[in-house]
Structure 1
């Protein structure tokens, strides 16, 4: 019967080759884990920065919305005041037009 251990005799060269591959793989895994950890930390830092920027922008929106409301109210108040003035002016004009119309038929009959 042939020996079962025939293929088990590993030369020291094969053993060194295997060890070398394992060492390179271990280093690659370490580098990969370090890079992964760095990416995670960068992402967390970026998230923190973006949250801060978001808060600043939200505050800016709040202030601009408040300013817009103030300006709208101011504009509406000014428009209301002008509208009241225009209404009074228009009433005067209408009254003046009524007086002119009363005088016009007389002028047109005497001219006609």
Structure 2
């Protein structure tokens, strides 16, 4: 909206004000375009990063599942060996207690604090 012309100024004064107003509006419009572009760019970068992290998280969760299965297999294998072994070093040892998950021990320790 152009400035209101008041008083008895000459035509050239009004034209100067219109030109000044137009320059300010044009600069503002460019600044707004630039700001909106940067905002959209940041949003897109965030969206891309979120998708990348989700994919990475999914890979890591699959790896945890695989390693958990491997650990359980090795525990079972050890228990089978230790229970059938005639080796005296396994006598008097609570093998079940020995093979408890470390996470269970950490949970117990943190809950007692």
The TM-score range, normalised by the shorter chain, is 0.5 to 0.7
Q: Could you list the per-position Cα deviations for residues 47-76 of structure 1 after superposition, in whole angstroms to 9, with x for gaps in the alignment?
A: 111111111001000000000000111111
Q: How many corresponding residue pairs?
A: 82
Higher relative contact order (CA 8 A, sep 6+): 2
What corresponds to 2:44 in structure 1? 41
| Structure 2: gaps (5+ residues) | 1-5, 92-113
Structure 1 residues 26, 78: CA separation in 2 closer, same or farther (over 3 Å shift)?
same
In the TM superposition, 1:57-76 aligns within 5 A as 57-76=60-79
State the distance in 1 between where 2:9 and 2:82 align: 100
Cα–Cα, structure 1 residues 68 and 45, in superposed 2: closer, same or farther, change >3 Å?
same
CA RMSD of aligned residues (A): 2.1
Q: 1:14 aligns with which of 13, 17, 37?
A: 17
Structure 1 portions without partners, runs of 5+: 91-112
Residues of 2 paired with 1:61 and 1:8: CA distance?
Answer: 80
Q: CA deviation at 1:38?
A: 0.8
TM-score by length of 2: 0.64
**CA distance, structure 2, for counterparts of residue 37 and residue 81 of structure 1:** 66
| 1:28 paired residue among 14, 28, 31 | 31
